Each structure stands twice: as structure tokens, then as C-alpha cells.
Amino acid sequence: MKRLLITIAIMMSLVLTGCSSSVGKPEIREISYSWGKVTEDTTEILVKIKVYNPNPFPIPLKDVEMDVYMNGIKMGEGHAIKAGIEAKSESTIVIAIDLDNNKIPEWWVSHIRNGEKTMVDIKGNLVFVLKVFDFKYPIEFSNPIETDIL
């Protein structure tokens, strides 16, 4: 799961740094994660990404929408609960990912059958506010996870 969160942060960095070669590149300074609310149905993972924006203007990030798949099984979805990136400062983006606990047995069987390997796929959008409308920039990436439990 840690690799998944680092991958999310790297993808956000790549998208933000590709804005223009004449502006400063935002820098991811720290990534942390913690367990959120756990219920019978869902397990929440909170991802905090500290981003430094060296530019004299804010980056109008409104949301980070994502669907999380593990070995092709949709495990859950996530969105930003705090997404603003202020000018010339360090801002914290907070993403809440809700995993469906009922999908864990199905995923676990696929993980074991696949030699304790899982491909985590993230599909979603970075949502930017552009005055009159929101612009969704699609993101999609994959990250393997391997265990040696058995």
C-alpha cells in the first residue's frame, strides 16, 4: 500500500511539473499515510502529501478523483478532502481512499493464485478549477505489489 501512495504522489508531481518550463516546479516534500475510519463495510486510508509551490500564483487543484483496482478487481475509490496548493508556500493535499472490505477475500484469492503478486491500477482525474468550469486531467498508472507470506 505504501508503494501505491508513493506512486500517487509521484504522478501528481509529474502532472504539476509539466505545466510549463518557465514556471517553478512544485516539489513533493513529504508523503504520509494513516488509517482513517474503519467500519464493517469500508476501510479508509488517509494520504497526506506536502507540496511546495515556488510560484507567485496558486495551483487551482480542486480534487483528486480515483478508482483503485487490484488484480482487476475494483477495491474502492478516493477523493481529495483538501486539495488547494497556495502560492509560494507548502500546502498539504489530503486524499481519502475508501476500500470495500467485502472485496478483500476476492482480491486475496487472486493474489495467492497469482503467486502472491498484485498489480494495483489507479484510474482517475486531477480536477482543476478554471474560473468558469472545472477541468479534469486524466491520470492512470500501475504499481506491482509482491508478498512472501506463504
pTM, rounded to two decimals: 0.72
Burial readout 99-118 (b: 16 or more C-beta within 10 A, e: otherwise): bbeeeeeebeebbeeeeeeb
Instruction: Please report the pLDDT score of residue 14 as a whole number.
Output: 55
Instruction: Please report the pLDDT score of residue 32 as a whole number.
Output: 83
Q: What is the pLDDT of residues 60-104, one digit of tens each?
A: 999 999 999 999 999 999 999 999 899 999 999 999 999 999 999
The answer to whether 49 and 95 have CB atoms below 8 angstroms apart is: yes
Average pLDDT over residues 15-39: 77
Distance CA(136)–CA(140), nearest Å, equals 13
Phi and psi dihedrals of 62, rounded to 5? -100, -35
Question: In whole angstroms, what separates CA 22 from the centre of its chain?
Answer: 27
Quick check: 126 pLDDT over 80?
yes
Q: Measured between alpha carbons, how far is residue 8 from residues 3, 65, 68, 105, 116 in Å?
A: 9, 11, 11, 25, 22
